[in-house]
Amino acid sequence: MRKFKEFIIEKLILICGIASIFFVILIFLFLLKEGLSVFKTITPLKFIFGKNWYPISEPAQLGILPLILGSLLVTLGAAIISIPIGVACAVYIAEIAPLKIKEILKAGIELLAAIPSVVLGFIGIVTLVPWVKNIFNIPTGLTALSGSIMLAFMATPTIVSIAEDALYSVPKSYKEGAFALGATHWQTIWRVILPAASSGILAAVMLGIGRVIGETMAVMMITGNAAVIPHSFLAPLRTLTATIAAEMGEAVVASEHYFALFAIGIVLFVISFVVNVTADLFLHKGQ
């Protein structure tokens, strides 16, 4: 009897063990099931490279190029800001900060990671957006720049914590060797520790960027929601994620618009899949 009970429990454990695979496949299948229907009316090339996104006009124009460029532009801006700051902060925490300050800084970073994105979006609306408007003297502060700054801020916890782990796991003997040869602490960091941790830092950067591409609420609230091809950092735009979040509420189930939003979901899923798998490869290469 006990053997039978244990047999059941162990099978249950095995089933739950593979549940993650099941859910990933399920998510992908349901995105495909709903999203692929849009290609009955529009070719994939026209969908991705179409310059006009007017989903509710007659006939609907479903080109997501403005959305892709919108996502790319804010991601680029966020990467330019967050990568140097994030990696520098990770080096400071891992190598320079005294133990007590280190604990405080890590708690601060964890705090940032815990703040819900809708709260950051709200804070962005009441602080960052008016600042950008006044500093650049433009009609609206809801711009790509505001979005980039906020997203950079949101990506730093990911970059800092993973990069810090990578720096921390560099063997102590490397550092001692460099010191023994008369290198200063900074020379050791720059020439020995950073190169040794490079694959982990690369993974940190990739995961940070993955976080930026997938971020929805804050970016929807502060980039102005204009589905046009963006020409500068000081113009409003709209990302892939924000389009889904803003329009799905109004799309009629099983309409062309509904299918098109799921097709955008497929694009996002594939991007995040590639980013995560590549980052994971880098992390394992480091070990």
φ/ψ of 137, rounded to 5, equals: 55, 55
153 binds other proteins (CB under 8 A): yes
273 binds other proteins (CB under 8 A): yes
Part in contact with other proteins (CB under 8 A); list of ranges 39-47, 52-60, 170-178, 187-195: 187-195
Classify 216 as helix, strand or coil: coil
26 binds other proteins (CB under 8 A): yes
> Cα separation of 226 and 126, whole Å?
20
| Out of 80, 181, 186, 232, the residue judged to bind other proteins by CB under 8 A | 186
Helix-helix angle 19-35:256-286, to 10 degrees: 150
34 binds other proteins (CB under 8 A): yes
The pair of three-digit structure tokens given for residue 107, joined into one six-digit string: 């708690």
24 binds other proteins (CB under 8 A): yes
| Out of 143, 156, 161, 199, the residue judged to bind other proteins by CB under 8 A | 156
> Cα separation of 139 and 141, whole Å?
7
DSSP code of residue 39: G
Q: Which is nearer to other proteins, 134 or 232 (CB)?
A: 134
Residues 6+ apart with CB under 8 A from 282: 199, 200, 202, 203, 206
> Cα separation of 73 and 213, whole Å?
10
x/- mask, other proteins, residues 232-251, rule CB under 8 A, reads: ---------x--xx--xx--
Cβ count within 10 A of residue 60: 17
Q: Which is nearer to other proteins, 6 or 51 (CB)?
A: 6
Q: Which is nearer to other proteins, 76 or 266 (CB)?
A: 266
270 binds other proteins (CB under 8 A): no
Part in contact with other proteins (CB under 8 A); list of ranges 49-57, 162-170, 211-219, 230-238: 211-219
Say if residues 201 and 194 touch (Cβ distance below 8 Å): yes
Q: CB of 117: closest distance to other proteins in angstroms?
A: 7
Classify 53 as helix, strand or coil: strand
| Out of 84, 130, 177, 195, the residue judged to bind other proteins by CB under 8 A | 84
Helical spans, DSSP H, in 59-98: 65-91
Which residues, 249 to 268, sit near other proteins by CB under 8 A? Answer: 249, 253, 261-262, 265, 268
72 binds other proteins (CB under 8 A): no
Cross-strand bridge partners of residue 224: 237
Q: CB of 26: closest distance to other proteins in angstroms?
A: 7
Classify 234 as helix, strand or coil: coil
x/- mask, other proteins, residues 101-140, rule CB under 8 A, reads: ----x-xxxxxx-xxxxxxxxxx-xxx-------------
